[in-house]
Structure 1
Amino acid sequence: MRFRTILLGTGGSAGLPQIGGADGAGEWGICDPGEPRNRRTRASILIESDGGRILVDTAPELRLQLTDNRIGRIDAVIFTHAHADHIAGLDEVRILNRIANGPIPAYSDAQTWDELRRRFDYAFKPWQPPGFFRPVIETHGVAPGETHMICGLPVTIIGQDHGFARTLGLRIGGVAYCPDVMRFDADQFALLEGVDTWIVDCFTKGPPHPTHANLDQVLAWAETLRPRRTILTHMGPDLDYASLCGTLPDGIEPGYDGLIIEGEAT
């Protein structure tokens, strides 16, 4: 089955520009504010096929991400972990419930569900038809190494080390998405063998980071896996789009909000 992946957001936890700046209009770091591909919302993707649309994480800018990309319906959600930049838009699911006229199936691991229940307990209460005054999600458990059929696509779950937490990546056919990772266990890294297009966390070009991969680490991973295409996401203020395009090795590129990637599930 053919599918496409849309990068809804490619920024770090503070987005870009970050709040601040000399005039209060935003802090860009070394990134050129005149380059529209440097304007980054928080990290999220959408996977779309004839079987439906899968949203991966509910970023704080979810409403804008969906409207900017003309996405009017969601059929399922995958949560990679419970950090605020990946879940703070969960309340927007209420409108998606209204469009679907029912609860939205959602997938994550036990640790993430525990945290989401503490912070969004109302989203886990049974639906009381006919309307939606709050989000309503239908929970499904997943674990690293498992493959689940979601919207007709085989989604393999990848366990990841996020420094002070564990996160989930995913792979469908030749496309993999690995946000918020600084290290892989050997068995989980093996799930990426033969990947064609890899969307991967790369927060900084500076020294090693305690919770995110830096550029040197991504380059080393890419040298091992040798995907045809490696796309950087979750980028911080020291990763300027044009500078990266001019200096990265062939086959490695910065992502940007709205980038569309074609793929095929096997």
Structure 2
Amino acid sequence: MRFRVTLLGTGGSAGLPQIGGADGAGDWGSCDPAEARNARTRASIAIESAAGRLLVDTAPEVRLQLTANRIARIDAVLFTHAHADHIAGLDEVRILNRILGAPIPGYSDERTWDELVRRFNYAFKPWQPPGFFRPVIDTHRIAPGETNRICGLPVGIIGQDHGFIPSLGLRIGNFAYCTDVMRFDDEEFARLAGIDTWVVDCFTHGPKHPTHANLDQVLTWVDALRPRRTILTHMGPDMDYATLLAGLPAGIEPGYDGMLIEGEVT
């Protein structure tokens, strides 16, 4: 089965430009504001197969991300963890419910559901047909090491160390998506063996970060895994698109909002 991945957002937790700047129009850090691919919303992707579309995380800009990429329907949502830049758009699920005409299946681990229910308790109350005046999510618990059939695709779950909390990565066939990670243990890293295309967290090319991979760490991982193509995401304000593109080794490139990736799984 073929599938398509859309990188809806490739920015760090503050997006780019960040709020601020000398004129109040935004702080671009060391990134060139004239390069459109430096404009980054918060990290999220959509995965589309013939059986439906899976949204990974509900970024604060999810409404704008979906409309910009002409994605009119989502059939399921997977949450990688409960940090605000990955869940703050959860209220937009209400409109996705209306389009779907039903509660939307949601997938995450026990820890993330506990936090989401605490912060968005109204989204997890029983549906009161026929309409949707609030989001309604049908929860499914997943865990690292499992493979779950979601939107017709076998979605393998990868455990990740996000510094102060765990997060989830995913693998479909020879494609993997690992945002918000600074370390893998050996068992979870082994789940990435043989991947062809890897979208991976790379917040900075500066010193080691307490919660995110930096470029040196990503290069070490790539040297071990040898994917054909590595695409950087969750990039911070020192990650200028053109500078990265010119300086990265062959097979490694910065992602950008709206980037499309084709995949296939048997």
Which TM-score bucket, shorter chain as reference? over 0.9
Q: CA deviation at 1:195?
A: 0.2
> How many equivalent residue pairs?
266
Matched residues in 2 for 1:240 and 1:49: separation? 32
What letter is aligned with 1:86? H
Report the residue type matching 1:50 in the other structure.
A
CA deviation vs aligned residue, 1:57-105 (integer Å, no higher than 9, x gap): 0000000000000000000000000000000000000000000111000
| Alignment match, 2:159 | 159
Which whole-Å CA distance do the structure 2 matches of 1:91 and 1:68 have between them? 18
Q: Which residue in 2 is equivalent to 1:104?
A: 104
Correspondence 1:1-266 to 2 at 5 A: 1-266=1-266
Q: Can you give the 5+ residue segments of structure 2 that lack an aligned partner in the other structure?
A: none
- CA RMSD of the aligned region, Å? 0.3
SS at match of 1:176: strand
Superposition deviation, residue 265 in structure 1: 1.3
Name the TM-score, length of structure 2 as normaliser.
1.00
What CA distance in whole angstroms lies between the structure 2 residues aligned with 1:3 and 1:67?
20
Deviation at 1:164, TM superposition (A): 0.2
Q: In structure 1, what residue type is equivalent to 2:100?
A: A
Gaps of 5+ in 1: none
* 2:223 aligned partner, one-letter code: E
Q: Secondary structure at the match of 1:171?
A: strand
Q: Residues of 2 paired with 1:213 and 1:56: CA distance?
A: 19
Superposed CA offset, 1:32-53 (max 9, x none): 0000000000000000010100
TM-score by length of 1: 1.00
How many percent of aligned residue pairs carry the same amino acid? 79
Q: CA deviation at 1:111?
A: 0.0
Tell me how far 1:219 sits from its aligned partner: 0.5
Report the 3-state secondary structure (helix = DSSP H, G, I; strand = E; otherwise coil) of the residue aligned with 1:192. Answer: coil
Distance in 2 (CA, whole Å) between partners of 1:138 and 1:49 is: 21
AA partner of residue 107 (structure 1)? Y
- CA distance in 2 between counterparts of 1:235 and 1:110 reads 28
Per-residue CA deviations over 1:134-192 (Å, capped at 9, x if unaligned) read: 00000000000100000110000000000000000000001100000000010000000
